[in-house]
Amino acid sequence: MHTYDRLVEVLLPTSNYTASAWSRESKQFIDVRSDVIEQQAWNKNGSKFINYKIYIEASIPGDSVGIFKISKVSEMRTPKPDTNQNN
């Protein structure tokens, strides 16, 4: 289980994505810790749909902007199930 000070949340079309963040010090994107979760939900008509979200570890000081690159990868990441769902 990861514990993050701050998180950036991005909705994804599938689970096979990774994240990197811009480093002002090294002037390049660097890999950062992230997790993808899968959320299953139902439309009003009863049909099921799935959302994927990536949570990116981020520490953005005040008066600053965080720049992130979300990259699609060829291998599928196994998303973690959303354990906060009410069934």
Question: Is the model's pLDDT at 85 over the cut of 90?
Answer: no
Residue 79, pLDDT > 70, answer no
Higher pLDDT, 27 or 65: 27
Q: Give the tens place of pLDDT for each residue, 16-63.
A: 999 999 998 999 999 999 999 999 989 999 999 999 999 998 888 778
Dihedral (C-alpha) 22, 67, 32, 73: value to the nearest 10 degrees? Answer: -100
* DSSP for 14-78, written as a single string: SS-EEEEEEETTTTEEEE--EEEEEEEEE-TTS-EEEEEEEEEE----TT----EEEEE-SSPP-
Question: Structure pTM?
Answer: 0.72
Rounded distance between C-alpha atoms, residue 49 and residue 38, angstroms: 10
Distance CA 39, CA 66 (A): 26
